[in-house]
Amino acid sequence: MQIQQALALYSQLEGKSESAALDVELMLCSLLGKPRSYFFTWPEKELPQTIAAQLEVMIQRRSNGEPVAHILGTRGFWEFDLEVSPYTLIPRPDTEVLVEQVLALDLPSSARVADLGTGTGAIALALAWERPEWEIVASDYVAEAVALAKRNRDKLKLHNVSLLQGSWFEPHSGRYDLIVSNPPYIDPNDPHLLQGDVRFEPLSALIADKKGMADIELIGDQARDFLCEGGFLLFEHGYDQGENCRALLNGLGYEKVETLRDYGNNERVTLGQWIKC
């Protein structure tokens, strides 16, 4: 099988994936250890039989709905690739909006930062990548997620990130200049839970009671006991939850409350500053 023939196998995914051609290209990149440009330079190059067989298995897995990130075992985020697993959410580009906003804040040069529900470690590691002088403490309730985040941290050699296991603020102590989180925020009755990649992601990282607001409310409330004076809270939420999130933080006494939009122009990240201590 030639490379150009392998790439044409995307037709098997049409109607099953919105990015069929890209899916096949990414799979072949992973198998060959080559960039996508290689395919267009050597379209007639013959693939080893073992590679062709592995590609066909991957395409079948994708045809069954399995996320490409799970098939490859990695997903790109920020400036690096992260190991992923079924124990955590797959990092998504819109979460980079939160990282970008954090980097734009006026924070101490040696800020102390907490990342709640870190999953793969995506947010914590992106901040550590950009701000090596910060002290970042990331936590997750799921032991397998903590182990995964540690592997990602160690691979990237980001030594300013500590990993703890526990529910939300349970394993944390002291105060932080910044608290960030991408908590569960989907209504348990949302029909989108039966569609796409989320079918293969852990429900515990996706859904929350009170129409998706339960964990956000807990974080907003308890963060006040862990923020330094003038510290910031930022969290990701659903596209239709911005108004409720602003009302929550304003009602809890936060100041400078605002909501930021993601790359699809949806309200996605809400922040507030805690002045009282």
User: Per-residue pLDDT tens for 29-51?
Assistant: 999 999 889 988 888 989 999 99
For residues 14 and 136, membership in a common domain is answered with: no
Burial of 35 (0-12, 13-18, 19+ CB in 10 A): exposed
* 212 and 87 in a common domain: yes
Q: What mean pLDDT is predicted for residues 59-87?
A: 93
- Answer yes or no: is 240 within a domain: yes
Q: Say whether both 84 and 22 belong to one domain.
A: no
* pLDDT (0 to 100) of residue 277: 59
178 and 199 part of one domain: yes
The CATH number given to whatever domain includes residue 38 is 1.10.8.10
Query: 155 with 51, same domain?
Result: no
Backbone φ/ψ region at 232: left (φ over 0), alpha (ψ -120 to 50), beta: beta
Per-residue pLDDT tens digits for 148-189: 999 999 999 999 999 999 999 999 999 999 999 999 999 888
pLDDT tier, 199 (very low <50, low <70, confident <90, very high otherwise):
confident
- In this structure, the answer to whether residues 111 and 233 fall within a common structural domain is yes
Determine contact, residues 116/219, Cβ cutoff 8 Å: yes
Residue carrying structure tokens 């990602």: 152
Alpha carbon distance 10, 64 (integer Å): 14
User: Measured between alpha carbons, how far is residue 170 from residues 121, 173, 225 in Å?
Assistant: 18, 8, 12
Residue 72 in this model has a pLDDT that exceeds 70? yes
pTM score, two decimals? 0.91
* Domain of 43, in residue numbers: 3-65
Give me the pLDDT at residue 195, please.
Answer: 77
Is position 47 within any domain? yes
Residue 50 and residue 88 share a domain: no
Assigned token pair, 2: 């030639």
Distant-in-sequence, close-in-space partners of 263: CB < 8 Å, separation ≥ 6: 93, 94, 97
Per the structure, how many domains does the chain have? Answer: 2
Domain with residue 116: its CATH number is 3.40.50.150
- Shared-domain flag, residues 95 and 37: no
SS3 44: coil
Query: Averaged over 129-155, what is the pLDDT?
Result: 97
Q: What is the mean pLDDT of residues 92-117?
A: 95
CA distance 189 to 204: 14
pLDDT, the chain, mean = 93
Pair 27, 132 in one domain: no
Residue 71 lies in a domain: no
Same domain for 270 and 171, yes or no, is yes
Answer whether residue 270 shows pLDDT above 70: yes
In a domain, 72, yes or no: no
Q: Is residue 70 part of a domain?
A: no
Helix (H) or strand (E) holding 124: helix 122-130
- Do 262 and 134 fall into the same domain? yes
Q: Is residue 145 part of a domain?
A: yes
20, pLDDT greater than 80: yes
CB 208 within 8 A of CB 173: no
Lowest mean per-residue pLDDT among 179-183, 186-190, 192-196, 240-244: 192-196
Helix, strand, coil % (nearest 5) of the chain?
A: 45, 20, 35
Q: Do 176 and 59 share a domain, yes or no? A: no
HSE of 172 in the Cβ direction (CA atoms, 13 Å)? 25
Q: How confident is the model at residue 193 (pLDDT cuts 50, 70, 90)?
A: confident
Q: Is 70 exceeded by the pLDDT of residue 253?
A: yes
